Amino acid sequence: MKHLSAHAAGHQFRVTPEGAPREGAAVDTETMPQARTMRDCKVVLFNDEEHTYDYVVEMLTHTCRLARTEAFRCAVEVDLTGRTIVFYGSRAACTNVVAKIHAYGPDHRLPQSMSSMKAEVEAC
Amino acid sequence: MLSDEHQSMMLAYLSGLRRGARLRSLDDLAALSARDLLLLARKVDDAALGIFIQLLKSTGEGRTVFSRLMGDHEEDNRPLVDDFFSRYYKCVLAVSDDAPPYNPLEIYLPAHALVDLAFVQSRQAFFLRQPCDVINAYLDGLFPLSEGPHAFPPGGQDKAWAYFWDKVMSR
């Protein structure tokens, strides 16, 4: 059995409540195809040495509206693996989130930090 | 990345905690199952959790190791996963949820740093994220007014920044 909470935004998309149709399943409704097209992209955040865990948590709670505990798991993932998925949505929504991440500014805790973290929109 | 010496010391420490087969290399650590790794992490002292993560990073198997820390998403491992992240969260974040209030502008944009205009300019987004009561208190400390405290209203961050920048430039 898989975790339902899994971690952060990246895993929320995979959560399927008991009894609900799974992603990709044939369903006779209009809302499911619409939901799919609204979540056809993801935002990937990349690691660097210019930002602290505190910054990542604070920034993700503001830009992606993640809970602090979810944002923290994203921070650990980006630290260990170099990248983490922080948001799923339409291309427009993802582009908006990336713009917010890039506009968030440097990490004020580190005097040498002079830029925002890097993030990109990727197709699912 | 940890030095070879620190890696060896940490592996010896972890081997002592396991009381089982000795961890001779980073490969041995990366080969632990999710449950074994999380049980090991539970025994690591809070003060060593950061180094423990650095050691896991040094394995070069970041994706695999993170999946292990997530318990390979097995429900049975969930209490261990939650326990690990809860502890690490408290250890690694500089500002805990119950920290006493302080003015972040006074800490991270101190008066002595205002001579570096490039630095000050780079902190504009940080300044603009602060509530106006925080900004007003900060400005009172830096540029006291004879007629009373600064009183930029909520939503007045842009005007406060323009005022602040003007003051910095005229110093």
Question: For residue A122, what are its two tokens?
Answer: 């990727």
Residues of A within 8 A of B62 (CB-CB) are: 80-82
- Give me chain B's average pLDDT, please: 90
CATH number of the A48-124 domain: 3.30.1390
Q: Find the CB nearest B85 among A52, A73, A80.
A: A73
B165 token code pair: 């920048």
For the stretch B148-170, pLDDT in tens is 999 999 999 999 999 999 999 98
Looking at residue B131, its pLDDT comes to 95
Per-residue pLDDT tens digits for B121-137: 999 999 999 999 999 99
Q: What is the pLDDT of residues B76-103, one digit of tens each?
A: 999 999 999 999 998 888 665 666 778 9
- Rounded CA-CA distance A7/A22 in Å is 19
Nearest residue in A to B109, CA atom: A108
CA angle A77, B78, B18 (to 5 degrees): 80
| Per-residue pLDDT band at B65 (split at 50, 70, 90) | very high
Rounded to whole angstroms, how far apart are CA atoms A97 and B165?
28
Is the predicted pLDDT of residue B110 greater than 90, yes or no?
A: yes
**What one-character DSSP code corresponds to residue A25?**
-
Global pTM? 0.79
> Do B122 and A106 count as a contact with CB atoms less than 8 A apart?
yes
Distance CA(A90)–CA(A115), nearest Å, equals 26
Non-local (6+) Cβ contacts of B75 within 8 A are A1, A2, A3
ipTM of the complex as predicted: 0.82
CA–CA separation, B86 and B90 (whole Å): 6
Contact B80, B39 (CB under 8 A): yes
Cβ pairs A/B, distance under 8 A: 77
Do B126 and A108 count as a contact with CB atoms less than 8 A apart? yes
List chain A residues with CB under 8 Å of B66: 76-77, 80-81
Residue type, A89: G
Strand partners, A120: A44
